[in-house]
Amino acid sequence: MLGILVATSNLPRLVVVVVFDQFRYDYITRFYPYFGKGGFRRVIEGGTSFTNCHHTHVPTFTAPGHATISTGTVPKYHGIVANLWYDQATLKKVYAVSDPSAKAVGGKYRYGESPRNLLTNTVGDELRLKTNFRGKVVSLSLKDRAAILMGGKLANLAVWFSTEDGHFVTSTYYTDKAPKWLKDFNAKKPANRYFHKEWRKVGPKDAYSLAITGGFPHILGKDSKEPDSKYYRELKATPFGNELLLDLVKVAVKGEKLGKDTVPDLLFVSFSSNDYAGHIYGPYSEEVADMVLRSDRILSDLLNYLDKEVGKGNYVLVLTSDHGVAPVPGRVEGLKGKRVSLDTLKGVIEEALTHRYGKGNWVLYASFPWIYLNDTLIAKKGDPAEARRIAKEALVKVDGVMRVFTREELLRGGFPAWDRTALYVYNGFNPERSGDLAVIPKAFTLLGSHYTGTNHGTPYTYDTHVPLAFYGAGIPHREVSSFCSTTSIAPTIAHILRAEQPASTVGEVLEVKGQ
């Protein structure tokens, strides 16, 4: 029966949430025949998988996606409306995890960061409260925004990779002194062992026959005389970045003694290299095919380590992704993919508002999907609602633009259930942080400043549809094809841990255990 109280000893000792960044659901179906038995196959065939799981917000970016996974709610409520947004009050850009009061710990990092911009709490925060702070929450990634937003406000530690010195770092928000295991790990300079290493294909030839493009091999740091920031950036866009993070995960599990007693712990791991490589090469490339096959090996290695270190039957693993990705425009015949720059959109708005109100700096900032108008100037000239309507009428005429939503429309809401595009934009709209206009491109059109490669962020299935599977202690084998949202991940984990759901959860508890 849902909500029944159970003894702490009956709970899993550790829940591990594994996110493969920019991992479309169809990577599972396309490459399934080429997976080994110990990775994705083990999780899917031995656990409960949801084949029709979607992120139900726009934009489908890293920061909003990871925040949704950990909070069980959408950007409207958790406040992470993009990786970067504009603050009309201060007239400054805001990075999702920026915090000027914090400083890096463990290495060099250009920013001070914390989860202070997150407006609600996470499932990890609830676990900390439930256990009177005895249960640990640790979050690890190559990306700062992934690690920080998964861990939440009460996490023991969030750790990410710095390309400034090749160290993994944390923040004074969590600790003034890096733990010994992290110091020891960095002291060995593990990121340097891939310097001048070749990235070659590891799978069978047939696995790459599904690709349209490819350019193997790739040599890391070939333009550098020694490991430097350029090399470290290259490293993140190869499967070796994921291998490096996996090594850190093993050290962290042992160093923090995760899953070693009857008080449950929670570990978040986000493998970012899939995203860095995916942006460059696209979903139908040999490089992404190889990343998927290597991700299968990464997952297998992680499961084997958890079997040994925590024990079979003592942990639950949750597998998902923060978003998908669009095909590279022009590479798939017949899809009519194209690129529309933000400068084009800004120019169209400037022309329309200049025609109505006279010359002025009408657009303050634009970052897909949000466009921030100069509200102060507009208020002096006329009605802001009218200005937004004029801007919308001009934008919808741009080739490649599908729909435009004004602030007034999103504040009003009331969109029909069948209009998923509108609902996803509504879910992503926070009145204090989102722009005056939300612009949605036509399918397969990229809106932004990406002149090569590809991107994500739209309400289309190639960006929203992601894997979701639960595996481990007490999880039966089932396959569920009905629609579900990633907002259900956090409340379901809370149910498994018999913890309270995060405060702003909008997702439902999925039937995976203890029903």
The pLDDT tens digits of the residues spanning 456-489 come to 999 999 999 999 999 999 999 999 999 999 999 9
Nearest to 168 by CA among 272, 83, 95: 272
Q: Are 116 and 244 contained in the same domain?
A: yes
Residue count of the chain, please give it: 515
CA–CA dist 114, 118 (Å, integer)? 9
pLDDT value for 332:
78
Q: To 10 degrees, the CA torsion angle through 124, 126, 132, 136?
A: -10
Q: Are 293 and 236 contained in the same domain?
A: yes
Mean pLDDT, residues 94-111: 94
Q: Are 281 and 380 contained in the same domain?
A: no
CA–CA dist 316, 53 (Å, integer)? 19
The predicted-structure confidence for 493-504, as pLDDT tens digits, reads as follows: 999 999 999 999
CA–CA dist 253, 230 (Å, integer)? 30
CA–CA dist 502, 123 (Å, integer)? 5
Mean pLDDT, residues 203-214: 93
Q: Are 242 and 391 contained in the same domain?
A: no
Q: Residue 506 falls within a domain, yes or no?
A: no
Give residue 125's domain range.
15-172+192-328+459-496
Q: Residue 348 falls within a domain, yes or no?
A: yes
AA identity, residue 97: V
pLDDT value for 357:
95
pLDDT value for 9:
52
Q: Are 295 and 242 in contact (CB under 8 A)?
A: yes
pLDDT value for 2:
34
Give the β-pairing of 445-448 and 338-341: parallel
| Residues 6 or more apart whose Cβ sits within 8 Å of residue 515 | 1, 2
Q: How far is CA 113 from CA 95, 101, 170, 209, in A?
A: 9, 8, 9, 43
CA–CA dist 208, 473 (Å, integer)? 35
CA–CA dist 64, 82 (Å, integer)? 6
Q: Are 436 and 359 contained in the same domain?
A: yes
Q: Are 265 and 302 contained in the same domain?
A: yes
Q: Are 317 and 343 contained in the same domain?
A: no
Q: Are 276 and 360 contained in the same domain?
A: no
Q: Are 314 and 394 contained in the same domain?
A: no
* Greatest extent of the chain over all pairs of C-alpha atoms, in Å: 70
Q: What is the CATH number of the domain that holds 56?
A: 3.40.720.10
pLDDT value for 328:
95
Q: Residue 9 falls within a domain, yes or no?
A: no
Mean pLDDT, residues 161-174: 97
The predicted-structure confidence for 318-374, as pLDDT tens digits, reads as follows: 999 999 999 999 887 778 789 999 999 999 999 999 999 999 999 999 999 999 999
AA identity, residue 298: I
Q: Are 441 and 467 contained in the same domain?
A: no
pLDDT value for 4:
33
Q: What is the CATH number of the domain that holds 438?
A: 3.30.1360.150
Active site residue 120: no
Of the residues 48, 51, 60, 62, only one is catalytic, namely 62
Q: How far is CA 354 from CA 216, 401, 404, in A?
A: 50, 21, 20
Q: Residue 19 falls within a domain, yes or no?
A: yes
Mean pLDDT, residues 165-188: 98
Q: Residue 260 falls within a domain, yes or no?
A: yes
Question: For the residues of 272-325, what is the DSSP string, one character each?
Answer: -HHHHHHHHH-TTBHHHHHHHHHHHHHHHHHHHHHIIIIITTSEEEEEE-S---
Q: Are 455 and 325 in contact (CB under 8 A)?
A: yes
Q: Residue 187 falls within a domain, yes or no?
A: no
Q: Are 112 and 248 contained in the same domain?
A: yes
Residue 238 backbone phi and psi in degrees, to 5: -130, 165
CA–CA dist 110, 500 (Å, integer)? 36
Residue 3: pLDDT band (50, 70, 90) is very low
pLDDT value for 320:
98
pLDDT value for 231:
97
**To the nearest whole percent, how much of the chain has pLDDT over 90?**
93
> How many domains does the chain divide into?
2
pLDDT value for 448:
84
CA angle 52, 507, 138 (to 5 degrees): 95
Q: Please name every residue paired with 18 in a beta bridge, in sequence order, or none if there are none.
A: 269, 319
| 8 has a pLDDT exceeding 50 | no
Assigned token pair, 358: 């006279």
| 7 has a pLDDT exceeding 70 | no
| CB atoms near residue 4 (< 10 Å) | 8
The predicted-structure confidence for 261-315, as pLDDT tens digits, reads as follows: 999 999 999 999 999 999 999 999 999 999 999 999 999 999 999 999 999 999 9
CA–CA dist 341, 329 (Å, integer)? 13
| Residues 6 or more apart whose Cβ sits within 8 Å of residue 217 | 198, 199, 200
Instruction: Work out the end-to-end distance of the chain between its first and last CA atoms, rounded to an integer number of angstroms.
Output: 5
Q: To 10 degrees, the CA torsion angle through 483, 485, 491, 493?
A: 80
The predicted-structure confidence for 369-392, as pLDDT tens digits, reads as follows: 999 999 999 999 989 999 999 999
Write down the residue that tokens 């042992």 correspond to. 254
pLDDT value for 419:
97
Nearest to 241 by CA among 140, 319, 151, 149: 140
Q: Residue 512 falls within a domain, yes or no?
A: no
What kind and span of H or E run contains 345?
helix 342-357
What kind and span of H or E run contains 412?
helix 407-412
**To the nearest whole percent, how much of the chain has pLDDT over 70?**
97
Q: Are 213 and 284 in contact (CB under 8 A)?
A: yes
Q: Are 406 and 379 contained in the same domain?
A: yes
Q: Residue 454 falls within a domain, yes or no?
A: no
CA angle 53, 478, 496 (to 5 degrees): 75
* Cis bond upstream, residue 33 (ω within 30): no
CA–CA dist 299, 319 (Å, integer)? 9
CB < 8 Å & 24+ apart, contacts of 88-94 = 88/364, 88/372, 88/375, 91/364, 93/365, 94/433
Work out the mean pLDDT of the chain and round it to a whole number. 95
